[in-house]
Amino acid sequence: MRTVIEPFRIKTTEPIRLTTRAERAVALQEAHYNVFLLDAEDCCIDLLTDSGTGAMSTAQWAAMMMGDESYAGSRSWKHFEQTVRDITGFDHILPTHQGRAAEGILCETLVKPGDLIPNNSHFDTTRANIEYVGGRAINFLCPEGLSTQDESPFKGNMDVAALEACIQQSGAEKIPFCMLTVTNNTGGGQPVSIANVRAVKAVLAAHGIPLVIDACRFAENAFFIQHRDPDYADKSLLHIARELFALADAATMSCKKDGMANIGGFLACRDADWATRFRNLLILREGFPTYGGLAGRDLEGIAVGLREALEESYQVYRHATITYLSRHLSEMGIPIVQPPGGHAVFLDAKRFARHLPAEGYPGIGIVNALYLEGGIRAVELGSVMFARRDADGREHPSPLELVRLAIPRRVYTQSHFDYLIEVIASVWQRRDQLPAHRITWQPDFLRHFTCHFEPQQGQHLQ
Ligand code: F0G
């Protein structure tokens, strides 16, 4: 059959509150035009993130009931550790409450002021953790990755020549490790090829620099490799994942993505000395090394979820939902990042709202219009999130202005997608009226979460 169906049926439902436009206009104003500040129950379809928002399976819930809450050496820890080791091959596994805790421990242990940490594209918490301890986070995304229309299969790849040049220039001693984010979330959820990981590893190995994988969406990345690299067409997702991790020295993971869980993460590595240093900080920040920041039941849910993420039928369905959405948007001429990524569809805000300059935050104009129009909550990945600011406050815009529609795992059905397509189409038809926004208040860092906006005078979208 050509129709890909959800490889599950629904046993528990959660009601969605349907709001009116007038109610949404009030809610948005009260949230200072920043959708992060909205109440979730005022959102009809919440595509803010695919992180921790998925639905768990009956097998995960059953495993959670078996959670062993012993402080040390629990059965649930063993289950978690064995699963992570089987998939990643790492010797030392440290459970954390989420991905950024793993990043924090990694950076606080290994990064010194003035150090450089290359990545294909750093996620915002990774960058913040590096900068917090005085390091510099630099992106070496391949040139294709910066084009929203280039149809290359692996647009998350690192620019290996740029990496090599950076090492030559700064010296290997300034680079305690290099990272690769799979898939490349901030660059459109684009995959990284095994060939690229291998090439990056070869350059790093020649200089004695370790490779750390940001593995949040490793199973989606494995699916892309299976479908886009003929050498891997007949390999299982587990096989591909193992091959990826075998090239790395360590990994940070947010189990809120391809762990199919609502909370959790881990830091894993091969080196015993690193592990000892990580563990000391883990105990201080997260908890005893056999539970980290997690309950025994969470460890159980993740152990099952990591395997479910590697099931072919699940990944086929997941990919089909993203393809369905992106195909319909493309057919209407709505500019999206091509090819669509693994966990989200990204609208190209620069081409969607051509009349708005970067300083007018076109992504925010679109995000707020989607909310007003249909109660859809999306997120800007553009100059609000990524602009560099000089000491005097001057902003250098982000090279890409995107709006991310992140799809929670196993949550929304096809009619939700049809509704979403209708809402986006309606905003697209009135795109010329999208107002510019300005920031009226912002904190010192990670401003996008809490800053306040104001639509430009006289430009309120009706
Ligand atoms: N790395 C990547 C690539 C991520 O996408 C995220 C989280 C993290 C690290 C941090 O993990 O949230 O468990 O601390 N991304 C979410 C998102 C928040 O919406 O993309 P965390």
Give DSSP secondary structure letters for 18-77. ---HHHHHHHHHHTTT-GGGS-GGG-SEE-S-SSS-PPPPHHHHHHHHT----SSS-HHH
Q: Ligand 1: which residue has its CA nearest to atom 21?
A: 99
**Hey, is 235 helix, strand or coil?**
coil
Q: Which of 319, 349, 323 is nearest to 336 (CA)?
A: 349
What's the CA-to-centroid distance between 254 and ligand 1, angstroms? 6
Distance of CA 118 to the CA centre of its chain: 18
Computed over its alpha carbons, how large is the radius of gyration of the chain?
22
Angle, CA 85 vertex, CA 79 and CA 88 arms, to 5°: 135
Nearest one of 291, 412, 276 to 344, comparing CA atoms = 412
Q: Mind listing the pLDDT tens digit of every residue in the chain (462 residues)?
A: 889 999 999 999 999 999 999 999 999 999 999 999 999 999 999 999 999 999 999 999 999 999 999 999 999 999 999 999 999 999 999 999 999 999 999 999 999 999 999 999 999 899 999 999 999 999 999 999 988 889 999 999 999 999 999 999 999 999 999 999 999 998 889 999 999 999 999 999 999 999 999 999 999 999 999 999 999 999 999 999 999 999 999 999 999 999 999 999 999 999 999 999 999 999 999 999 999 999 999 999 999 999 999 999 999 999 999 999 999 999 999 999 999 999 999 999 999 999 999 999 999 999 999 999 999 999 999 999 888 888 887 889 998 899 999 999 999 999 999 999 999 999 999 999 999 999 999 998 789 999 999 999 655 554
Quote helix, strand, coil % in the chain, to nearest 5: 45, 15, 40
**160: which 2 tokens?**
């290996």
Helix axes 124-132, 99-110, angle to 10 degrees: 30
| HSE of 358, CA atoms in CB hemisphere, 13 A | 17
DSSP assignment letter at 114? T
Which residue from 36, 100, 267, 385 has its CB within 8 A of the most atoms of ligand 1, so it is best to mutate? 100
**Residue 391 DSSP symbol:** T
388-389 and 437-441: which strand pairing?
unpaired
The helix or strand, by DSSP H or E, that contains position 269, with its residue range, turns out to be strand 265-269
With tokens 């001057």, the residue in question is 394
Please give the Cα distance from 446 to 423 (Å, whole number): 29
* DSSP code at position 58: H
What is the rounded CA–CA span in Å between residue 85 and residue 87? 5
* pLDDT computed for residue 462 by the predictor: 46
CA 255 to ligand 1 center in whole angstroms: 9
Chain Cα centroid distance, residue 271: 27
455: which 2 tokens?
Answer: 């639509």
Closest CA to 25 of 363, 361, 356, 369: 369
Q: Candidates 46, 49, 103, 123: which one to mutate for ligand 1, based on the most atoms within 8 Å of Cβ?
A: 123
Q: Report helix, strand or coil for 378.
A: coil
pTM of the predicted model, to two decimals? 0.95
Closest CA to 318 of 189, 141, 146: 189
User: How many Å apart are CA 414 and CA 4, to the nearest integer?
Assistant: 11
123 C-alpha to ligand 1 centroid (Å): 7
CA of 69 to the centre of ligand 1 (A): 26
How far apart, in whole angstroms, are the C-alpha atoms of residue 403 and residue 28?
A: 17
Atom of ligand 1 nearest to the CA of 183: 3
Q: Which atom of ligand 1 is nearest to the CA of 48?
A: 19
Helix (H, G, I), strand (E, B) or coil at 381: strand
How high is the pLDDT of residue 84? 98
- pLDDT, residue 460, reads 52
In the reported structure, the alpha carbon of residue 426 is separated from the centroid of ligand 1 by a whole-number distance in angstroms of 30
- Cα–Cα dist 193/221, whole Å: 8
- CB-based contact 432:12 (threshold 8 Å): no
* Distance, CA of 67 to CA of 89 (rounded, Å): 24
* Domains (range + CATH), the chain: 21-50+311-455 (3.90.1150.10), 58-309 (3.40.640.10)
Which protein residues touch ligand 1 with a CB less than 6 Å away?
49, 51, 98-100, 123, 125-126, 181, 185, 214, 216, 254, 256, 265, 406
Residue 298 one-letter amino acid: D
Secondary structure (DSSP) of 280-349: HHHHHHT--TTTTTS-HHHHHHHHHHHHHHT-HHHHHHHHHHHHHHHHHHHHTT--B-SS--SSEEEEEH
Rounded Cα distance, 289 and 73, in Å? 9
Nearest to 133 by CA among 172, 167, 106: 106
Do 39 and 370 touch, CB atoms closer than 8 A?
A: no
Q: How far is the CA of 460 from the centre of ligand 1 (A)?
A: 32
Instruction: Answer for the pair 170, 116: CB distance below 8 angstroms, yes or no.
Output: yes
Give all strands (DSSP E) within 74-163, no chain letters: 92-96, 116-119, 136-139
- 263, 290, 353, 437, 455 from 459: Cα distances, Å: 40, 55, 14, 9, 7
Protein residue whose Cα sits closest to atom 2 of ligand 1: 123
